[in-house]
Structure 1
Amino acid sequence: IDTKQASVEALALFARAGLPLDPVQIYETVELRKIHEIKAAELACSRATEENFERLREILKASEERIAAGEGLAKEDREFHLEIVRATKNGVFHNICSVYYLMGEQRLPIYFNDLERSMRSHAEHIQIYEALLRRDGNLAQALMSAHLQGAESYWKGIIEGRWTEPKSAALERA
């Protein structure tokens, strides 16, 4: 299957089926995520309801519990980011961003297998939440940009060959 010319929806299906995506496509997906989620953070500042803030608080609490148990934040990370997109009150925007997480379903647990990375991500989520709560669009955008830079750098490192896959992840696929 040539995934180079596939639609975003098809790439999500390939990823869910366990077909490997080209590392460049993964990086490009993170790049798109970054563009969309920075704007989502800005829009959420003016549109988020108390229901959105309550849901974000629940996700942050679940994240703390996962970290305390020594577990990664793959599920909570996805929920946190998609709740911010949901807070934009734009259903099409939410559907588009949901596809990015379908594409990353197999990779997020590997990314968050590093407890230190999960802890850092959680701390950044708290800062983003606080900016949203203050309805500070500029700060929320800046924090989201910095937050997603970590994922972008991680995948760029893989593409450029500066990263080696943990043995456990390689064994799972063998």
Structure 2
Amino acid sequence: MSLEPIKKKRVYQDIIDQIRNLLASGKLKAGDQLPSERELASRLFVSRTAVREAISVLESSGIVRTHQGMGVFVKEEAHDLLLFRMDNLINQQGISLIDLLEVRLGIEGQGAYLAAIRRTDHDLDDIKTAYQKLENAYSINKPAAEEDHEFHLTVVKASQNMMLVQHVMLFSDKFLKSVNELRNKSIRSNRSKEVLIEHLAIYKAIEEKDPNKSQKAMWTHLKNAIKRSML
């Protein structure tokens, strides 16, 4: 007898499943506006936090777009493409956040180490700009998944190792989803400042051209992210 382990689903994943079904049935189409956060929470009997988490994941996956002051809309793209992205998203839900962070420890730890040795002044400017964007986003309590991804990507690009860059790009979709999840936890637990300090330590170590310090700063940040993911 062959049995498979039961995977625990979170509420936001159920919300995503229902939105996927609406897309597949044609009841929800490209360009359509989703019900408000309050209405979705009421109709699905879930918390507004779970709805926000689901919308955040859908947005980072390129399925919906938020228009400030107007609401959340399905992106105006081909129906097949939207369904493909949705199915890809759902298939990835079983991937452990901790597994992803552990992979990043190896890739980005080495990236930070080499960045401190090889970075140019232009690379450092790019990392500083990415940090400032992240700082600005954090100041308004924005999840800032794209800003966070840009910071980490500029660090690895400064390593001048294209294999490392390609691996970071390969995991970009999973990276964005994981950052959204971690940032929602950081916001709820008031740890945003702590996370920002960790990013600044990475930048400063690379600025100082200290490879061991840079690698350690990246490891510290990602290990702390693993701890935060367990909260």
Q: Which residue of 2 aligns with 1:151?
A: 225
Q: Which residue of 1 aligns with 2:158?
A: 87
> 1:23 deviation in Å?
4.7
- TM-score (ref. length: structure 1): 0.74
Matches within 5 A, 1:22-33: 22-24=94-96, 26-33=97-104
Gap change, CA 1:83 and 1:16, over 3 Å in 2: farther
Q: Which moved more, 1:54-63 or 1:113-122?
A: 113-122
Equivalent AA in structure 1 for residue 98 of structure 2: Y
Matches within 5 A, 1:66-81: 66-81=137-152
Gap change, CA 1:16 and 1:46, over 3 Å in 2: farther
RMSD: 2.5
> 1:52 deviation in Å?
1.1
Equivalent AA in structure 2 for residue 126 of structure 1: L
Match 2:179 to one of 108, 115, 131: 108
Greater helix fraction, Structure 1 or Structure 2: 1
Alignment partners' CA distance in 2, 1:30 and 1:18: 18
Task: Report the 3-state secondary structure (helix = DSSP H, G, I; strand = E; otherwise coil) of the residue aligned with 1:106.
Answer: helix
Alignment partners' CA distance in 1, 2:224 and 2:87: 23
Q: Tell me, which stretches of 5 or more residues in structure 2 are unaligned?
A: 5-60, 62-83
Alignment partners' CA distance in 2, 1:138 and 1:18: 36
Equivalent AA in structure 2 for residue 125 of structure 1: H
Matches within 5 A, 1:116-127: 116-127=190-201
Q: Which residue of 2 aligns with 1:140?
A: 214
8 Å contact from structure 2 (residues 146, 176) kept in 1: no
> 1:45 deviation in Å?
0.7
Match 2:131 to one of 42, 47, 60: 60
Equivalent AA in structure 1 for residue 203 of structure 2: Y
- TM-score (ref. length: structure 2): 0.57
Task: Report the 3-state secondary structure (helix = DSSP H, G, I; strand = E; otherwise coil) of the residue aligned with 1:33.
Answer: helix
How high is the sequence identity, in percent, across the aligned residues? 23
Task: Give the length in aligned residue pairs.
Answer: 146
For residues 4-42 of structure 1, what are the alpha-carbon distances to aligned partners after superposition, in whole Å with 9 as ceiling and x for unaligned? xxxxxxxx9978832143253x32221111011111111
Give the greater-gyration-radius structure (CA).
2
Q: Tell me, which stretches of 5 or more residues in structure 1 are unaligned?
A: 3-11, 158-162, 164-174
Alignment partners' CA distance in 2, 1:21 and 1:142: 30
Matches within 5 A, 1:30-45: 30-45=101-116
Equivalent AA in structure 1 for residue 193 of structure 2: M
